[in-house]
Structure 1
Amino acid sequence: MLNRIRAVLIDLSGTLHIDDTAIPGAVEALKRLRSSGIKVRFVTNTTKESSRSLHARLSSLGFEVDRKEMFSSLAAARLLAEERGLRPLLLVDQAAEEEFEGLPAPEQGPPNAVLVGLAPKRFDYQSLNQAFRLVLDGAQLIAINKSRYYQTKDGLSLGAGSFVAAIEFATGKEAEVVGKPARSFFEASLKGLGVAAEEAIMIGDDVKDDVIGAIDAGIQGLLVKTGKYRPGDEKKLAEGVVVAENFPEAVDRILRAKESN
């Protein structure tokens, strides 16, 4: 069952696209959703690339997306760092570093925080050991997201959460999560839309971070069977939560619900 919907939060990787390939029918489905008058915002835990790079990727795939409509865990991490005056050690991919330009540089003082995103080329012993020592000495441990895995063209791959867990295990300290499924992330993603949480719905392929996280924040959730979806994920959801084969079907379900409300 879907209640009245005035805004849709849309996950990106695994929901609209996988790497450089759009989910079949997703471009046209987004156009149908926009033409209905429902507000749209794109929310992502992606930390492999900056919002500028991600926007360029989406545009190249044919998606009509305004950068102002995008809200990422990288943006949330940047805001947190600014609010707290952090000097972070960045464990993020080089392509995402531009999101943190202007923050205090290492020469301005030793890092007082460790920000961990998905950085496959930087997750070596030396970097993780440096992070371990900083956290052990009192630096804040902040997970830009704590995703378990993500979908690529050649299959599922380890997410940032696995490496965050390693630092947590070694230091005995729990990371603060700023991306999905943190309630604060979902609340921030709704700012400026002028809709109540219960009037919004989150479409995503991650049953835990996207759907259950949204529901815990008072937002409706809709799971799609693409991307990182695994058979049986729907059994983790409460009765009545909508599950669709893909993004186009999810849009169809939302539009039918809008017509009946």
Structure 2
Amino acid sequence: MASESDLTGKKFVLIDLSGTLHVGDEATPRAVEALASLKTHGFTVLFVTNTTKDSKQKLHERLIRLGFDIHVAELYTSMSATRLHVEKQGLRPMLLIEEEAKKDFEGISVIDPNCVVVGLSPKDFCYETLNIAMRLILEKDGPIIAVHAGRRYMSPSGMNMGPGCFVAGLEYATGQTAKVFGKPEISFFESALSYVGCIDPSKAVMIGDDVRDDVFGAQQAGMTGILVRTGKYLPDDETKFLGIKPDFTCENFAEAVDMLLGANKRLS
């Protein structure tokens, strides 16, 4: 059983956005002040997100409006990792992502597509469009590339299905296995840590509202996982998934920061 003393010396903090720092256009309780305090005390922070509805620029603008002191360079998205892969492989994607998010793929040719990139795009998750995607994969023998395969996400209107079930549907229909980016992939957490210069994952903490994608993914990469009871959290998430147990569970992001600061107070 982890104790708060186990947080001593951890100076790298990866933070989920939607559901953790904010839900829709409202910050979670004391989140703005908590983030400012975390930075003031010398922690290196990186915001890691599977968000595929918005471009990185629009995401940054929203966070600034909510009062957060965050720089664009502190945002590490699964969309960025996906675009890099598409570029390196010379692929031409059929993009099943929101129009705003397509800005992150500007400069990538989508003429005569030879792969399918799946993000979060509710308007595309219909039989007709998914049929087109399936046929493209079968006819071109092209890969399925998932920006992430999340199960669900929270919005102001309530819980919503994530793209994971549609990725699974394309896999089932084509017999292919998707290349998945984003949380909870270990490679995503490893690349995020490398981005901030952390070579020892035991020095890092992940704070998020998804026990599988945020907490378990981070733990698999050697980090400490803190679950918060906001956003997509459901009662007993920290106990009902076999083999998944957060190192810590807090009411919200601010409480997690208070715990981190308390554990590291003597090192300040």
TM normalised by structure 2 equals 0.93
Partner of residue 5, structure 1: 10
Deviation string 1:95-142 (CA, Å, 9 cap, x unpaired) is: 100000011231xxx322110000012222221111111222311001
Moved over 4 A (4+): 237-240
Deviation string 1:214-245 (CA, Å, 9 cap, x unpaired) is: 00011111000000011111113656711100
Match for 1:167: what amino acid? L
- The answer (yes or no) to whether the contact 2:31–2:253 under 8 Å persists in 1 is yes
Q: Secondary structure, in 3 states, of the residue corresponding to 1:135?
A: helix
Is 2:168 the counterpart of 1:162? no
- Unaligned runs of 5+ residues in structure 2 are none
Question: In the TM superposition, what is the alpha-carbon distance from 1:161 to its structure 2 partner?
Answer: 0.7
Measured in 1, the distance between the counterparts of 2:237 and 2:23 equals 19
Which region of structure 1 is more displaced relative to structure 2, 133-142 or 226-235?
133-142
- The answer (yes or no) to whether the contact 2:216–2:244 under 8 Å persists in 1 is no
Is 2:196 the counterpart of 1:231? no
Is 2:232 the counterpart of 1:209? no
Is 2:73 the counterpart of 1:68? yes
Deviation string 1:41-69 (CA, Å, 9 cap, x unpaired) is: 00000000000000000000000000001
Is 2:47 the counterpart of 1:39? no
Partner of residue 223, structure 2: 219
- Unaligned runs of 5+ residues in structure 1 are none
1:253 is aligned, of 248, 253, 259, to: 259
Alignment root-mean-square deviation, CA: 1.4
Is 2:97 the counterpart of 1:92? yes
1:190 is aligned, of 176, 179, 193, to: 193
- The answer (yes or no) to whether the contact 2:115–2:143 under 8 Å persists in 1 is yes
Number of residues of Structure 1 aligned to a counterpart in Structure 2: 258
Measured in 2, the distance between the counterparts of 1:208 and 1:18 equals 19
Measured in 2, the distance between the counterparts of 1:105 and 1:121 equals 19
Measured in 2, the distance between the counterparts of 1:176 and 1:238 equals 23
TM normalised by structure 1 equals 0.95
Measured in 2, the distance between the counterparts of 1:231 and 1:38 equals 30
Q: Secondary structure, in 3 states, of the residue corresponding to 1:243?
A: strand
Q: Secondary structure, in 3 states, of the residue corresponding to 1:214?
A: helix
Match for 1:246: what amino acid? N
Q: Secondary structure, in 3 states, of the residue corresponding to 2:122?
A: coil
